[in-house]
Amino acid sequence: MIVAPAAALAMAIDAPARTPRLAHSIVAAEVYDLDAHRVLFARNAAKLMVAASTTKLLTEGSSLALLGAGFRWTTPVYRTGPIDARGVVHGDLVLVATGDPNLSQRIRSDGTLAFEDEDHAYDGSPETKAVPGDPLAVLRDLANQVAKAGVTAIDGRVLVDGSLFPDQGAESGTGVTVSPIVVNDNVVDVTVTPGSHAGDAASLTVSPQTPYARFVNKTTTGAPKSDATIDMSQDVADAAGRHTVTVTGSQAAGPSVLYAYRVGDPKRFAQDAFALALRDAGVAVPASESTQPGDVTPALIPANLVAQHESPPLSEDAYITLKVSDNLHAALMPYIWAVYLAHAKRDYLREGFALEAKLLSDAGPDLQGAAQQDGEGGSAFFTADFMVRYLAWARTQTWYRYLLRGLPVMGVDGTLAGIQKHSPARGKVFAKTGTDDSENFLDGGSVIEKGLAGYMTTRGGRHVAFAFYISAMKGPQDEDTGTVAGQILGAMAAATYTSI
């Protein structure tokens, strides 16, 4: 019997979707032929599903469309007073925050941005890594520029002007503070290295080390394969806003594990880090600098510019945001649209999303199939049909190549590095993952919402866009249910690749 291509595709996709693990779940899917402009397969495609981080497809696409792939952030440093013949600034030194999310070591010598498959904001796993290098690299460059401009000392304060928009609290995924100033993704990397035997003291490595936070190590080594209990909640701030963090708990004997200390006051953190970089560059800064940060009141005039940093293009930030599903970078983007394009002074998210809504309305996808409240996907819902229509439109845009370049490649890199590694579709599927999980107190397990959406050229040569979602998949205690769901969705993508 000869099976029609559409029927073969339906049978192939339904095979992994029929697993007993999904007996109580909703599976939504759509596969769209980008050349013939028609739907090849649809299942529950009109139902709103939890989008999670597949939302970043819209956030990054909208950013590329609204700001342009070549958009760059420029972070300047000004002096607020005169500089005398000895190089002493009689006033403050002010770093102006402009929303650049990459004041870090990500920038490579060729101007591209580096990433690790398991980003440091997703901490607590042996696979979690920080990009190698000095997290204060950009601040050190700015400090060196200040020194080369002839500044030998300041008799005022080191300040960060964060007036672009107020800090917005923790983003909903990794809990990192959304702020116009972002140094090392607003985290301090604390690596716990267990000893050789259970009961041994464990050691800590902190990066970057700044006056903002001092870490007191009271960690121990646990038995092999025991659960980690590392805790940084004993966090006490003094009157100047500097923190003493007592790290307790145990780490199982074995590999080192990176934990992220989320910075609660990014401006204070950046001020302390920049003051440190200035001292290391030979600029004398009063020991009491920035004890009371206050607001920046003097006018910042071009003649007083002493240093500036220009970021890599937005296309590079879209690349790493999509590859590692960076929540903070994606969360920032609606605020960037709002302040740079709408010149908003309040209601930043509403102003930003008004721009995205107009863009999408003009593009054609039916907004009845979409709801979005943030850039990272903490609160967003899409139908599979809306997502593939959006992807089809994105493919016709001049910035599409940057979106495609940033998508994780199944079985190869980013958040898809461990999915379908031995499938014929390995390296052929370019897609954004999405995961939302909730703890189930009834049995100690979890409930997962999972998505996968993107592009592929099938083995038969068809160019397709697809969107697959799983809603409410239960998992037992001690199972990585998110990975199980990811493999199911990966199998659906692989089935699409091989069947048409």
Q: Averaged in consecutive runs of 10 residues, what is the pLDDT profile of the chain (500 residues)?
A: 64 85 94 96 96 98 98 97 95 96 96 93 92 97 98 95 95 93 98 96 97 97 94 96 97 96 97 97 81 53 94 98 97 98 96 97 92 95 98 98 98 95 96 94 93 97 97 90 94 94
Residue 128: per-residue pLDDT: 93
Residue 12: per-residue pLDDT: 84
- Pair 214, 308 in one domain: yes
- Pair 273, 411 in one domain: no
- Pair 93, 187 in one domain: yes
Residue 68: per-residue pLDDT: 98
Domain CATH number, residue 33: 3.40.710.10
CA distances from 404 to 381, 397, 407, 409, 497 (A): 22, 11, 5, 10, 17
Instruction: Pick the last residue of a domain from 312, 334, 365.
Output: 312
- Pair 44, 106 in one domain: no
Q: Are 86 and 152 in contact (CB under 8 A)?
A: yes
**Rounded CA separation 109/130 (Å):** 18
- Pair 133, 239 in one domain: yes
**Rounded CA separation 372/68 (Å):** 22
Residue 3: per-residue pLDDT: 44
Closest C-alpha among 446, 492, 443 to residue 468: 492
- Pair 290, 343 in one domain: no
Residue numbers of the domain that contains 479 = 5-68+315-499
- Pair 295, 336 in one domain: no
Phi and psi (nearest 5°) for 471? -115, 135
**Rounded CA separation 190/200 (Å):** 18
- Pair 179, 213 in one domain: yes
Instruction: Pick the last residue of a domain from 272, 290, 312.
Output: 312
CA atoms in the 13 A half-sphere facing the CB of 48:
10
Q: Are 481 and 460 in contact (CB under 8 A)?
A: no
Total number of domains in the chain: 2
- Pair 331, 283 in one domain: no
Can you name the residues that pair with 241 across neighbouring β-strands?
none
Closest C-alpha among 457, 433, 458, 436 to residue 447: 436
Q: How far is CA 43 from the centre of its chain?
A: 30
- Does a cis peptide bond (omega within 30 degrees of 0) precede residue 476? no
**Rounded CA separation 256/207 (Å):** 14
- Pair 244, 369 in one domain: no
Residue 365: per-residue pLDDT: 87
DSSP code for 301: -
Residue 11: per-residue pLDDT: 85
**Rounded CA separation 368/195 (Å):** 55
- Pair 332, 308 in one domain: no
Q: Hey, is 204 helix, strand or coil?
A: strand
- Pair 44, 79 in one domain: no
Give 38's contacts (C-beta < 8 A, 6+ positions apart). 32
Instruction: Pick the last residue of a domain from 253, 287, 312.
Output: 312
